[in-house]
């Protein structure tokens, strides 16, 4: 009954909107999403005089690549790029490894049920509070450990803040894995780690990829801890691009070129892994 009512409501809404209105609405959404990206790319290849033209030049007739060249020759963007890749890569690796171990333990481990519930709630609470709350203690602790302006400190903080969400998401994937194969593994003498590594984890491969990509994007775009814990050597791209905002004005060209540089790795990653990402997200959304 509920399903038929839902179908009737959907059909009524579809008939109410009509095909032309839906097409116009989709075109509007597409433009609103793609136009900022187009403006960023065109701003990166404009000449300096074109930034202040009135009316604004939407379709530049002359383009230049000097902004991208200056990123590496004048502003030293190679080091922040490597820093961001290292921070995001190791954060993703550690988050997926430790998160999968914790999620598997919460689902199939030997802990009492009450302890599992308490731990699950604790992971959820950890993800709910804002990172700015711990900014001062984090700076104090890492300054005492002499880890300021060190990539390892950023990896530690990004991992600690991404790990609760990774665990929460992976618990859903491990719950969906058939436990009968676990029991068969126990009959054949597999211990807990062997069942985790050889039996259950390969079945949630799509979930691991989806969660890993979300973690990579979150750590790639992270700004707060990068500002707090980096000075010069460990600066990621997100902190470096903020340096183009000065008291003398904004350097529009290099900032736009740096924005393109930040977007490119994420777009390439999504393009290469989109099939596994979509299948992982879809698998996590389906429940029996």
Q: Over the stretch 48-68, which tens digit does the pLDDT of each residue have? A: 888 888 888 888 888 888 999
Given CA atoms 270, 276, 279, 282 in this order, what sign does their dihedral have?
negative
According to the model, what pLDDT value does residue 197 have?
A: 84
Domain ranges in the chain are 2-64, 77-285
Average pLDDT score over residue span 258-271 = 88
pLDDT top residue among 193 and 224: 224
Average pLDDT score over residue span 214-243 = 91
Q: What is the pLDDT of residues 134-156, one digit of tens each?
A: 889 999 999 999 999 999 999 99
Q: Which fold does the domain 77-285 belong to in CATH?
A: MetI-like fold (1.10.3720)
Considering 15-24, 38-47, 112-121, the range whose residues carry the highest mean pLDDT is: 38-47
Q: Quote the CA–CA distance of 208 and 169 in Å, as a whole number.
A: 9
According to the model, what pLDDT value does residue 259 have?
A: 92
Return the number of other C-beta atoms located less than 10 Å from residue 67's C-beta.
24
According to the model, what pLDDT value does residue 271 have?
A: 82
Q: SS3 for 57-113, per residue?
A: CCCCCCCCCHHHHHHHHCCCCHHHHHHHHHHHHHHHHHHHHHHHHHHHHHHHCCCCH
According to the model, what pLDDT value does residue 287 have?
A: 45
| Residue 21 in tokens | 């209105």
> Are 135 and 224 in contact, with CB atoms under 8 Å apart?
yes
Helix (H) or strand (E) holding 249: strand 249-250
Among candidates 253, 221, 245, which has minimal Cα distance to 41?
253
**Residue 14 pLDDT grade (very low, low, confident, very high; cuts 50, 70, 90):** low
**Residue 19 pLDDT grade (very low, low, confident, very high; cuts 50, 70, 90):** confident
Return the number of other C-beta atoms located less than 10 Å from residue 2's C-beta.
6
Q: Count the residues in the chain.
A: 288
According to the model, what pLDDT value does residue 78 have?
A: 92
Average pLDDT score over residue span 75-96 = 94
Strands 245-246 and 249-250 come out as antiparallel
Is the per-residue pLDDT at 248 higher than 60? yes
> Are 84 and 220 in contact, with CB atoms under 8 Å apart?
yes
According to the model, what pLDDT value does residue 6 have?
A: 47
**Residue 281 pLDDT grade (very low, low, confident, very high; cuts 50, 70, 90):** low
């Amino acid at each position: 009954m509920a399903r038929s009512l839902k179908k009737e409501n959907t059909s009524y809404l579809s008939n109410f909107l009509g095909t032309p209105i839906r097409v116009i609405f989709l075109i509007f959404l597409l433009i609103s999403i793609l136009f900022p990206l187009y403006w960023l790319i065109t701003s990166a290849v404009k000449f300096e005089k074109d930034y202040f033209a009135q009316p604004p030049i939407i379709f530049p007739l002359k383009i230049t690549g000097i902004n991208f060249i200056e990123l590496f020759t004048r502003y030293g963007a190679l080091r922040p790029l490597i820093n961001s890749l290292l921070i995001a890569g190791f954060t993703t690796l550690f988050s997926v490894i430790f998160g999968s171990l914790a999620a598997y333990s919460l689902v199939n481990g030997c802990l009492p049920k009450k302890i599992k519930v308490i731990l699950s709630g604790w992971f959820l609470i950890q993800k709910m509070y804002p990172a700015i709350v711990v900014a001062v203690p984090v700076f104090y602790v890492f300054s005492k450990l002499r880890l300021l302006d060190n990539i390892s400190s950023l990896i530690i903080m990004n991992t600690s803040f991404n790990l609760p969400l990774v665990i929460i998401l992976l618990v859903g994937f491990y719950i969906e894995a058939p436990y009968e194969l676990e029991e068969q593994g126990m009959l054949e003498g597999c211990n807990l780690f062997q069942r985790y590594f050889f039996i259950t984890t390969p079945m949630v491969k799509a979930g691991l990829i989806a969660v890993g990509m979300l973690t990579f994007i979150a750590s790639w775009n992270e700004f707060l801890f990068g500002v707090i814990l980096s000075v010069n050597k460990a600066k990621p791209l997100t902190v470096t691009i903020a340096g183009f905002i000065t008291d003398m004005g904004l350097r529009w060209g290099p900032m736009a070129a740096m924005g393109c540089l930040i977007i490119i790795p994420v777009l390439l990653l999504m393009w290469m892994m989109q099939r596994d990402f979509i299948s992982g997200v879809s698998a996590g959304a389906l429940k029996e």
